[in-house]
Amino acid sequence: MSTHTCRWGILSTGWIANKFTLDLLVDPQTRQVSDVKHKVVAIGSRSAESAKRFLDETWKEAGVTEGKDTVKLYGSYDELLKDPDTDAIYIGTPHSHHYANVHAALTAGKNVLCEKAFTVNARQTQILIDLAREKNLFLMEAVWTRFQPYAYKLQEVIGSGAIGEVRAVQAELCVDFGPTAEKQPDHRIVNPYLAGGALLDLGPYPWTQLALTLLPRSKAAKEPMEVPKVAAGMTRTTSGVDASVVASIGFKQEDGRVVHGSFITAQDRQTTPQRCVLVQGSKGYIEVAFPTYRPRSFTVNSFDSVEHLADLDARPKTETFEFEPRPGGIWGFGWEADEVARCLRDGKKESDRMPLRETLLMMQVFDEMRKQGDFVYPEELETLELS
Ligand SMILES: NC(=O)C1=CN([C@@H]2O[C@H](COP(=O)(O)OP(=O)(O)OC[C@H]3O[C@@H](n4cnc5c(N)ncnc54)[C@H](OP(=O)(O)O)[C@@H]3O)[C@@H](O)[C@H]2O)C=CC1
Ligand SMILES: O=C1OC[C@@H](O)[C@H](O)[C@H]1O
């Protein structure tokens, strides 16, 4: 099979854009991928100096020189979007800006991979989905966890019946940012004008773990999904954004049962290294080791039969699956980039693994959590208007 090359344009030059680009510069064969590869052809920043600095620093960090001379640098996002030589644009701006940036990229006729959280609210997400479909362009939320070998294996083990019928799942991502609201009020995690808060920044990860384990197998389809019932509580930082969210989400199963997912996210405390996800089944349970965004391992604890769960002396059979988190030195974003390359090669407009209707569902659930926490962002972020 011949190797398909995806030509990327990078929009923004912050922390995540650097990490994503570093992964693009690693040969995919180091993760046993040979059907696709990546080439960074253009970088766009709000300033030309920043684009140049990003190029120099990122290529130096990667220890590569090949391809560097031909990368085109732009001092505005609009100029980048006019470049005819890109196959896909990667958007790594703060979530406050995703709606406008994705809208501009699609309007310019570009396929898009955009960081999480996809937008500020579900209405914005719906508009972007409609625009991508109208223009027949590829669009995907950059939920890297879904494409890691960990995620496929977890679903395979659950599907094999190793823990019986799934009865409940707990998932959390808490990262202690310290007193950021007091000491660095402009930081995007606490700044309301950058759509700060734990929910939009960290929440996509516990949501993803619940989606992987409790939603029907993902599949691209136009019909929207039924929005599950949510009961949520929220605390706030002194800057007014959410410091933590605790929620219970009722996921309806194909057999009609409603299985509860417990969702916890916080920016003022840390999840323990031992466990960020617990999947409880009728014949056992699975514990996933932190971090929620790139789990290192999971352990399957299975009993011979349902009765053993009630027996406190019963010892389960245990099996641990370990994952190489950084093959070839990647941060872990390479697998999602491979998915985009494959979709574009195959003419797909969305990924079956990260379908747009699931991005919409997450934003609808997050909207409901914010409603119950009585939390709205400044009007200029919630609006559908584009300036
Ligand atoms: N998938 C993952 O693991 C991670 C995802 N993220 C996501 O990536 C996004 C960006 O996060 P991160 O890289 O940490 O953020 P940074 O602040 O480091 O970078 C954001 C970049 O966006 C551009 N930008 C455009 N408008 C603004 C603005 N008004 N204020 C600040 N920056 C602006 C800037 O690039 P320029 O100056 O070149 O225009 C800036 O460097 C967020 O949505 C976050 O959720 C973040 C970390 C990890
Ligand atoms: O996406 C992310 O994953 C890791 C977190 O620490 C970070 O804040 C977040 O943006």
pLDDT, tens digit, for every residue of 233-261? Answer: 999 999 999 999 999 999 999 999 999 99
Q: Which atom of ligand 1 is closest in space to residue 333's alpha carbon?
A: 1
Q: What is the mean pLDDT of residues 266-271?
A: 98
Q: What is the mean pLDDT of residues 176-190?
A: 95
Fold adopted by 150-328: Dihydrodipicolinate Reductase; domain 2 (3.30.360)
What pLDDT sits at residue 227? 98
CA-CA-CA-CA torsion sign (23, 26, 32, 34) = positive
Nearest-CA residue for atom 28 of ligand 1:
94
| Ligand 1 pocket: which of 11, 15, 141, 184 to mutate (most atoms within 8 A of CB) | 15
Q: What is the mean pLDDT of residues 94-106?
A: 98
Interacting residues of 383 by C-beta distance below 8 A, sequence separation 6+: none
Domains 4-143+330-348 and 150-328 share a fold: no
Q: What is the mean pLDDT of residues 25-50?
A: 98
What pLDDT sits at residue 311? 78
Do 54 and 15 form a contact (C-beta atoms < 8 A)? no
What pLDDT sits at residue 19? 98
Interacting residues of 354 by C-beta distance below 8 A, sequence separation 6+: 140, 141, 143, 146, 147, 218, 336, 339
| Whether residue 310 has pLDDT greater than 80 | no
**Nearest ligand by distance to the CA of 12:** 1
**Nearest ligand by distance to the CA of 16:** 1
Q: At the top level of CATH, which class does the domain 4-143+330-348 belong to?
A: alpha beta
Q: What is the mean pLDDT of residues 174-180?
A: 95
Kindly give the distance from the C-alpha atom of residue 316 to the centroid of ligand 1, in angstroms, as a whole number: 44
Q: Which of 178-187, 216-225, 358-367 has the highest mean pLDDT?
A: 358-367
Which residues have CB under 6 Å of ligand 1?
12-16, 45-46, 50, 92-95, 97, 115-116, 142, 144, 188, 194, 201, 293
| Whether residue 287 has pLDDT greater than 90 | yes
Domain-by-domain residue ranges, the chain? 4-143+330-348, 150-328
Kindly give the distance from the C-alpha atom of residue 201 to the centroid of ligand 2, in angstroms, as a whole number: 6
What pLDDT sits at residue 315? 87
| Whether residue 308 has pLDDT greater than 70 | no
What pLDDT sits at residue 313? 83
Which residues have CB under 6 Å of ligand 2?
175, 201, 293
